[in-house]
Structure formats: C-alpha cells, structure tokens
Amino acid sequence: MRNEYISHQKLVLTKVLKKQTAPIGIFDSGIGGLTVAKAVMEALPNEDILYFGDTARVPYGIKSQETVRKYALEITRFLLDKGVKMILIACNTGSASAKAEIIEMAGEVPVLDVITSGSEMAVSFTKHDEVAIIGTLATVNSGAYKKAIHQLDSAVSVQQKACPLFVPLAEEGWTDNEIAQKTIEIYLSGFKNSSIDSLILGCTHYPLFKPAIEKYLHDENIHIIDSAESIAITAGQELKSKNLANTSGGNFACFVSDQPQRFQELAERFLGRTIYDIQIVSL
C-alpha cells in the first residue's frame, strides 16, 4: 500500500509540475501584443511565453465581429494544442468580439483579456469616478471598455478618444519626437487639466507612448493605465492562486501567420530584446 501511495503522489507531483512549466499563450492580430509579452516578461520572468501574431490577417479592426471571432478561435485552438496553461488575449478587438467563445473553448485553461484587466485597474484607481480611454477607432466605436467599466461601477463617467495615428507612429519608432509630441497634444488636449483621474491606453501599441503622454499631461493625479501592465499583474495573481506559477522558465517563442517585411525589426523594438527565432505557421 505504501508503495502505491508513493507512486500516486509522484504522479500527482509530475502533473502539477507539468502544468507549472507549461507556457503562457499570448495572441494579437499582429505586433502590438508584444507590449503585453514584454510586460509579462518583466512581471513574471520565470514564465515561458508563446506568442502568436496573426500578421497574415491584420488588421482586425476593419473586419466583422464574426470574422474576428473565427480568427480568434483558430488561434485559441493553436495555443491549446501547444499545451499552454493560460491564454492572454492581447488584442482589444479580439477581446471585444470573442472573449466568451474563447473562454468556452479553453475549458479549464484560464483566459484573461486586456479590456477587463485595464478596466479593473482604472476603476480601482479612480477617486472622482471619471475615466478616459484612448484607442483605435474600432475599439472606441465598439464601446467595449465603457461596457466593462460600467459592469464594475455604473457610476463612473467614461470619456473616449480615438487616436488612430498612434499605431503607425509606434511602428515607425516615432514615439517621442516632435511629430509624436504634436500628435499627443492634438489628441489629448481635452484631457489636460481635466477632472479625469485614470487614462486607459486602450491599444497594445500605446504603451510605447506612455512616457511622452505622462510628460504632456504632467499631472500626478492622472493614473496612466497600461493594459499590458494590468494584464501581467492579473496573470501573476491568477497563476499564484491556481498553483500554476513557474520557477524555472523564462523562454520566449514567437509564431506568426506571415512574416511581413520588417516584422523582426518592429518586434525587437516593441520587446526591447533580440528575437532569434520567428516561426511561420498556417492555421
């Protein structure tokens, strides 16, 4: 009996360790979600990360919800087949269009998304119940952040501003030059010296502008909510609560559905580190 008990305990331990050492799956429609990967690397340095960028079908923002949902579920299946222990939806459009379906497909694998994490942090910081969101036209028009915030606290006033030029500026590396500063001034002038106390960066490209935005607003009472940092914090809490945290990882694997020109250059700019292996897969 004792030997059977020991064998059973070893089997249980092996299963636990296998889950703990499994990678975190992160996906986005393209390259922007690498800011989430970077935040997770910094917050959870012992975790292995598997990133998927749907570079063949980007952008998602101009496509129907049904199409985005189809793409997101194909990527979810890919990540599950790779044995991930958690899925982070690093795509605002994907979060708004397919979160419920992704959760259903994932089963016992926990699923987190940037919209929920960013909204939760913004509401936790607000003192005057006034929150602002900047994002792409698609994200702003979807009203996904506003809905998520009001599910948490219906009394919060929500302002939204589409900032479409931030994405191409980020991909050019123009995040703190004269053009970027002028663009920030034009987009965010309505928030300067206002009563908002939380500003959500509602696009995964936007964290690259965080220092310049903080410099422009120059208001210590406004919390700049980086959804990448928010979801990394939430992921750490979730892994700890489910006994899934890794203590010996730190590897990064990058998968894309196509490798457009300059992808590696842009990816390394977003991550702030060299990427040695980018694998192209067909879903």
Domains and CATH numbers, the chain: 2-113+230-280 (3.40.50.1860), 116-227 (3.40.50.1860)
Task: Record the pTM.
Answer: 0.86
283 burial (CB, 10 Å; 0-12 / 13-18 / 19+) is middle
Alpha carbon distances (Å) from 29 to 5, 51, 90, 153, 204:
48, 11, 8, 30, 10
Mean pLDDT of all residues in 253-266? 86
The predicted structure's pLDDT at residue 11: 40
Q: Which residue has the tokens 């996906």?
A: 27
The residue type found at 73 is L
Query: Smallest Cα–Cα separation from 25: which of 235, 226, 206?
Result: 235
The residue annotated as part of the active site, out of 87, 91, 140, 162, is 91
Is position 163 annotated as part of the catalytic site? no
Token output for 19? 């889950």
The predicted structure's pLDDT at residue 65: 84
Mean pLDDT of all residues in 110-139? 91
The predicted structure's pLDDT at residue 10: 41
Q: 34-43 and 227-241 are packed helices; what angle lies between their axes, rounded to 10 degrees?
A: 50
160-183 pLDDT per residue, tens: 999 989 988 988 889 989 999 999
- Residue 100 CA to residue 149 CA, distance in Å, equals 17
Token output for 177? 């030059």
Query: Smallest Cα–Cα separation from 81: which of 109, 53, 59?
Result: 109
The predicted structure's pLDDT at residue 5: 42
Q: Provide, rounded to the nearest whole percent, the portion of the chain with pLDDT above 90.
A: 63
Mean pLDDT of all residues in 17-35? 89
146-155 pLDDT per residue, tens: 999 999 999 9
The predicted structure's pLDDT at residue 44: 96
The residue annotated as part of the active site, out of 24, 86, 203, 244, is 203
